[in-house]
């Protein structure tokens, strides 16, 4: 005599194996990122009830709830990733801005440049002839 496959529990798994004879005990395990809610049991047993000729699993009260630590670590990783991307973008913008400002510093003369043969006169004095 053996039990059939145990019922599925949300956010949990169970390793059944090939055979589950009478009196076999199995334990559900919460999936990664989840934990067992306090006061619930993960243990089941294959038993023969008084009113039945077929063995059946005991009822489980297991509830797997989202683990705050797993949630915090996944949020922490996301925040770290976003912060890294923002830092890289800011660094690239600063580097690009730094290159264009170096070109803008070039001096532009405000008066015409005298040729080699021409004397430089003050701006108010122009030759008349």
Asked, for residue 103, whether it belongs to a domain, the answer is no
Asked, for residue 109, whether it belongs to a domain, the answer is no
**Number of neighbouring beta carbons within 10 Å of residue 77:** 10
Q: 68: which residues sit within 8 A by CB, 6+ positions away?
A: none
Q: Is the pLDDT of residue 76 over 70?
A: no
Task: Please give the pLDDT value at position 94.
Answer: 82
Asked, for residue 86, whether it belongs to a domain, the answer is yes
> Among candidates 48, 68, 69, 67, which has minimal Cα distance to 58?
48
Asked, for residue 112, whether it belongs to a domain, the answer is no
Asked, for residue 42, whether it belongs to a domain, the answer is yes
Phi, psi of 102 (to 5 degrees): -65, -35
CATH number at residue 1: 2.20.28.230
Query: Range of 35's domain?
Result: 1-95
Mean pLDDT of 18-26: 92
Asked, for residue 114, whether it belongs to a domain, the answer is no
What pTM was computed for the model?
0.52
Please state the three-class secondary structure of the chain as a single string. Answer: CECCCCCCCCCEECCCCCCCECCCEEECEECCCEEECCCCCCEEEEEECCCCCCEEECCCCCCEEECHHHHHHHHHHHHHHHHHHHHHHHHHHHHHHHHHHHHHCCCCCCCCCCCCCCCCCCCCCCCCC
Asked, for residue 27, whether it belongs to a domain, the answer is yes
Please count the structural domains in the chain: 1
Q: Is the pLDDT of residue 72 over 70?
A: no
Mean pLDDT over the full length of the chain = 80
Asked, for residue 126, whether it belongs to a domain, the answer is no
């Amino acid at each position: 005599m053996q039990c059939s496959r145990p019922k599925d529990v949300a956010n949990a798994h169970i390793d059944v194996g090939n055979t589950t004879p009478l009196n076999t005990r199995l334990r559900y395990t919460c999936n990664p990122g989840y934990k067992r809610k306090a006061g619930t049991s993960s243990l089941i047993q294959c038993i023969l009830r008084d009113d039945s000729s077929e063995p059946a699993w005991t009822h489980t009260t297991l509830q797997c709830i989202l683990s705050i630590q797993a949630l915090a670590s996944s949020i922490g990783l996301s925040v770290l990733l976003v912060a890294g991307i923002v830092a890289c973008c800011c660094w690239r913008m600063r580097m690009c801005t730094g290159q264009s400002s170096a070109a803008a510093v070039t001096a532009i003369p405000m008066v015409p440049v005298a040729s080699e043969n021409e004397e430089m006169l003050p701006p108010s004095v122009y030759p008349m002839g």
